[in-house]
Structure 1
Amino acid sequence: MVAVKSPLTEAAQKTVGDALQNSLIDLIDLALVAKQAHWNLTGRNFKVVHEHLDEVVDLARQYQDEVAERAIAIGVNPDGRARTVADRTVLPQLEAGYLADDKVVAAITDTLGQIIERFRERVEVTDEPDKITQDLFIEIVAALEKQHWMFQVQIAG
């Protein structure tokens, strides 16, 4: 077995590794929540919301891979196993069964808002120990905030 030597100090590796692992869990569960909504969506805005949910799934899957690969690059093993995600996720879960489009839009807007808040905290936490990971988190926040905006404007106000 070959271990990857970290370019970071032990303390920095721990801080950044924890931020990356928690990000991985958020992104994996975001993809699962969005896909669950995608499959069970109903309502007059079905097509638009259905397709928009796939954008969120694609974004989450893209960045979960980048986050996991960054973890490996700093010598931390990412854990994206189903049990780990189920045990550690903090995302609100959707109800089972058919889901009305307006409720899905509200739920996804809220979920994205929560994830963005945590990613913004991770941007701060990684400022000192690892600017490379911080840069990745900044990129993810920008993508998530765009999706959040696009869902948020669909809420009738």
Structure 2
Amino acid sequence: MAAIKSPLTESAQKVAGNALQGALVDLIDLALVAKQAHWNLTGRNFKVVHEHLDEVVDLARQSQDDVAERAVAIGVNPDGRARTVADRSELPQLEAGYLADDKVVSAVTDTLAQIIGRFRERIAQTDEPDPVTQDLLIGITHGLEKQHWMFQAQT
């Protein structure tokens, strides 16, 4: 199969591709962390937090697809393989077993804050080389920041 020709210069493609790959790893792992918490949640606020975690999973899954498709559109192969995500993830992992709702809210709040920080760095990095990728990252950050606010309000 022929490679996709990039609309970007080689250097712009590299910057945007790296930003997109990092975003992809963060989003895949966020979906996994949130689903793990969703399955093992306990506590007085179970239902609200349980359903809220699914909102985070949905956002992460939709966003990872958008990120991967943007990567392909600029001629970069996205790598969402389990080993790649495990090797490159910077997210703290949840404990195994049942998880108290207050601990989950705190952990998800912290996790979202970390991801948002990295997304904001990627936004800055893609400003000049690829404003289209930057726009995608800005939109995703908007959703992540909304979820961060909503989880933070529960602490």
Q: TM-score normalised by the shorter chain: which range applies?
A: over 0.9
Aligned counterpart, 2:89: 89
Gaps of 5+ in 2: none
Distance 2:72 2:56 in 1: 24
Q: Secondary structure at the match of 1:44?
A: coil
Distance 2:103 2:56 in 1: 16
Distance 2:3 2:81 in 1: 20
1:3-152 equivalences in 2 (<5 Å): 3-152=3-152
Gaps of 5+ in 1: none
Distance 1:98 1:149 in 2: 25
* Pairs aligned (count): 155
Q: Aligned Cα RMSD in Å?
A: 0.3
Once the 2 structures are TM-superposed, how far is the Cα of residue 2 of structure 1 from its aligned partner? 1.2
Matched to 1:110, the amino acid is D
Matched to 1:120, the amino acid is R
Distance 2:119 2:85 in 1: 17
Q: Deviations over 1:22-63 (max 9, x none)?
A: 000000000000000000000000000000000000000000
Distance 1:25 1:114 in 2: 13
Q: Deviations over 1:132-157 (max 9, x none)?
A: 000001001100000000000000xx
Matched to 1:95, the amino acid is E
Q: Secondary structure at the match of 2:148?
A: helix
Distance 1:63 1:141 in 2: 10
Once the 2 structures are TM-superposed, how far is the Cα of residue 4 of structure 1 from its aligned partner? 0.2
Distance 2:119 2:12 in 1: 17
Distance 1:63 1:16 in 2: 16
Distance 2:122 2:86 in 1: 21
Matched to 1:135, the amino acid is D
Distance 2:37 2:123 in 1: 29
Moved over 2 A (4+): none
Matched to 1:26, the amino acid is D
Once the 2 structures are TM-superposed, how far is the Cα of residue 129 of structure 1 from its aligned partner? 0.3
Provide TM-score, normalisation by structure 2.
0.99
Q: Secondary structure at the match of 2:75?
A: coil
Q: Secondary structure at the match of 1:33?
A: helix
